[in-house]
Amino acid sequence: MKTILVTGGAGLIGSRLCRRLVSDGHRVISLDNYFAGSRDNHVSGVEYREGHTKDIEKHVSEDPDVIFHLGEYARVEQSVLEPEVVEDLNTVGTAGVIEFWKKSGCKLVYAGSSTKFGNEGWDKGAVPYVRTKAENTERVKKVGEEKGLPYAITYFYNVYGPGERAGVYGTVIEAFRQMYVKGEPLAVTSPGTQRRNFTHVDDIVDGLLVVAEKGQCDEYGLGCEESWSIREVAELFGGEVVMLPARSANRAESSLDVGKTKALGWEATRSLKGYIEEFIAAHERGQAVEKRVLVFSTTFLPVVGPAERALVSLMEAMPELDFDVVTTRFKKDVGGAAPGENVRVHRVGFGNAFDKFLLPVLGAWKARRLCREHRYLFCWSIMASYAALAAVFTRRKCQLPLLVTLADQRFSGLPLYSRLLLRTILSDADQVYGISSAQEGEAAAVAARSLERVALGRGDAFANQIRYAYADLMREEVKSV
DSSP H/E element including 130: helix 128-147
> What is the pLDDT at residue 245?
80
Cα torsion angle, 266, 206, 87, 475, sign: positive
Same domain? For 463 and 403 the reply is yes
Clarify whether residues 220 and 79 are in a common domain. yes
| Domains in the chain, number | 2
Cα Rg of the chain, angstroms: 24
Residues 256 and 405 in one domain: no
- Whether residue 257 lies inside any domain: the answer is yes
CA distance 272 to 368: 43
The answer as to whether 66 is a domain residue is yes
Residue 178: its H or E element: helix 172-181
In a domain, 58, yes or no: yes
Q: What per-residue confidence (pLDDT) applies to 437? A: 80
Burial class of residue 284, CB neighbours in 10 A (0-12, 13-18, 19+): exposed
Residues 325 and 211 in one domain: no
Write out the H or E segment, with its range, that includes residue 466: helix 460-480
197, 226 contact by CB (below 8 A): yes
Greatest extent of the chain over all pairs of C-alpha atoms, in Å: 79
SS3 113: strand
How far is Cα 65 from Cα 413, in angstroms, rounded to an integer? 54
Q: What are phi and psi of 6, to 5 degrees?
A: -120, 110
Classify residue 44: in a domain, yes or no: yes
Length of the chain: 481
Has residue 471 been placed in a domain?
yes
Give me the pLDDT at residue 23, please.
97
Which secondary-structure segment (H or E) carries 371? helix 355-373
Residues paired with residue 187 on neighbouring β-strands, in sequence order: 242
pTM of the model: 0.84
72, with CB counted inside 10 A (0-12, 13-18, 19+), is buried
Q: Are residues 262 and 311 in the same domain?
A: no
Domain of residue 34, CATH code: 3.40.50.720
Give residue-wise pLDDT tens across range 5-36.
999 999 999 999 999 999 999 999 999 999 98
Q: Is 214 in the same domain as 328? A: no
Tell me whether residue 238 is in a domain. no
Name 13's Cβ contacts closer than 8 Å, sequence gap at least 6.
Answer: 70, 111, 156, 159, 201, 204, 205, 208
* Mean pLDDT, range 292-317, rounded to an integer: 91
Do 153 and 213 lie in one domain? The reply is yes
3-state helix, strand, coil split of the chain in percent (to 5) is 45, 15, 40
Q: 210 and 312 in one domain?
A: no
- Statement to judge: residues 372 and 474 lie in one domain: yes
- 444: domain CATH number is 3.40.50.2000
Q: Considering only 87-91, 307-311, 473-477, which range has the smallest mean pLDDT?
A: 473-477
DSSP labels, 61-101: -S--SEEEE--S---HHHHTT-HHHHIIIIIIHHHHHHHHH
pLDDT greater than 70 at residue 461: no
Asked if residue 167 has pLDDT above 70, the reply is no
CA 370/CA 152 separation, integer angstroms = 58
pLDDT bracket for residue 456 (50, 70, 90)? low
138-152, 294-308, 317-331, 421-435: least confidently modelled range: 421-435
Query: What does the alpha-carbon distance between residue 152 and residue 252 come to, in Å, rounded to a whole number?
Result: 27
**Same domain membership, residue 300 and residue 219:** no
Q: How far apart are CA 223 and CA 235, in angstroms?
A: 22
Give the Cα separation of 423 and 415 in Å (integer): 13
Would residue 183 count as lying in a domain? Answer: no
Question: Does residue 440 lie within any of the structural domains?
Answer: yes
**DSSP one-letter string for 277-344:** HHHHHHSPPPPP--SEEEEE-SS-TTS--HHHHHHHHHHHH-TTSEEEEEEE--STT-----SSTTEE
Tell me, yes or no, whether 296 and 262 share the same domain. Answer: no
Same domain, 220 and 151: yes
Residue 345 three-state SS = strand
The per-residue pLDDT for 125 is: 56
Q: Do the beta carbons of residue 158 and residue 199 sit within 8 Å?
A: yes
Domain interval for residue 390: 292-480
- Give yes or no for residue 122 having a pLDDT over 50: no
Average pLDDT over residues 256-282: 95
Q: Of the candidates 380, 359, 391, which has an alpha carbon nearest to the alpha carbon of residue 433?
A: 380
- pLDDT band at residue 459 under the 50/70/90 scheme: low
Average pLDDT estimate for 354-368: 95
Backbone angles phi, psi at 10, to 5 degrees: -105, 10
pLDDT at 407 > cutoff 60: yes
Can you give the pLDDT at residue 292?
93
